[in-house]
Amino acid sequence: MESIKQARNWGIDIGGSYAKIGYLSDASFVLTNKIQTGSDSLPDLILKEIFSTILAVDKHPKSIGFGIAGMVSKSTKMVLTSANLPQWNKVNIQSISNKYLHTPIEIDNDCNAFAIGSLHSGNIPPKGLWLFITLGTGIGGTIIYNGEVVYGTDFAGEFGHTTVQADGKLCKCGSYGCWEKYAGSKALTNYYSKLTGIKITPAEIAQKADKQDINAIHALEEYGKWMGVGLANLANIFSPEGFFFGGGIASAYVHFEKAAFQEYRNRCNHHWKTTVLANTYTAGAYGAAVLAMKQ
């Protein structure tokens, strides 16, 4: 791998399935590597591979930003806990980073990083109250007010762990009936499996729905119903200008929008304004790089 000549601002998106690594180059983002994560992934090993990837390309990176799935403390640069990365418990990213390089780092929740990148690129308006939601392994959330992310006491926006079923399914976070248990990627896979006895990925379900497969359509409608439940809760709390969606499942929005809207309208009277952000595959890593660059 050829080293780049100029120090770069790097961004890393660490999610429940993959870690994506890349850097800002003028107005674009260059993805250099993708590392598989998962419930058994160990932070020391994943971070070692991330830093090795960066240093193989850029010997003196200008800054590094991390967007990480879970409860992230920006002030202490620690991941306190992550439902979808259970090994990432009280992980000091700054301390581990110092073993490999002396580059300034910034960390944030992965959804917040995604939102920061979308604000920077103009895809989310700079005025008003908006809610940004990522749909993937889990459900991430960001509250945006007049172009700024609202953090509360550091952890605002854990939408995926709001309760939609009081006595519902046990979540990895320790609670019951969390929204992402009914509208995360595994939930969609299970809805399709119950109809067919076959387990396939959400992307494959969406492809089948595109071809008018009735079971895929019904699975996405069930998914959409639970999306509507969670969105109605958020609307009743925040009364936002509207919702923005990103993440892998958001690309199938056309197949579950109607069911989501019907459930939403059954549960609240707030207006309905939704937007799916395009080209979201590297958006989280891009936003993490923007976060680091701005600091």
Model pLDDT for residues 193-218, shown as the tens digit of each residue:
999 999 999 999 999 999 999 999 99
DSSP H helices, 239-252, are none
Note the pLDDT of residue 3: 54
Which CATH code of 3.30.420.40, 1.10.3720.10, 3.40.50.300, 3.40.50.1000 fits the domain covering 9-114+282-294? 3.30.420.40
- 140-276 maps to CATH 1.10.8.60: no
Note the pLDDT of residue 26: 81
What rounded mean pLDDT belongs to the chain? 94
Three-state SS at 189: helix
Q: What is the pLDDT of residues 67-91, one digit of tens each?
A: 999 999 998 999 999 988 999 999 9
At 6, phi and psi to the nearest 5?
-120, 140
The model's confidence at residue 5, banded by pLDDT at 50, 70 and 90, is: low
DSSP state for residue 279 in the 8-state scheme: -
Note the pLDDT of residue 4: 56
What are the sequence ranges of the domains in the chain?
9-114+282-294, 140-276
Rounded to the nearest 10°, the torsion over CA 113, 245, 227, 109 is 0
The model's confidence at residue 242, banded by pLDDT at 50, 70 and 90, is: very high
Angle at 12 between CA 6 and CA 13, to 5 degrees: 155
**pTM of this prediction?**
0.92
Percent of the chain with pLDDT over 70: 98
Angle at 118 between CA 10 and CA 33, to 5 degrees: 35
The model's confidence at residue 291, banded by pLDDT at 50, 70 and 90, is: very high
Q: What is the pLDDT of residues 148-188, one digit of tens each?
A: 999 999 899 999 999 999 999 999 899 999 999 999 999 99
Residue 106, both tokens: 């910034």
Note the pLDDT of residue 225: 98
Percent of the chain with pLDDT over 90: 88
| pLDDT exceeds cutoff 90 at 11 | yes
> Is 9-114+282-294's fold the same as 140-276's?
yes
Note the pLDDT of residue 27: 74
Distance CA 95, CA 98 (A): 5
Q: What average pLDDT does the segment 9-30 reach?
A: 93
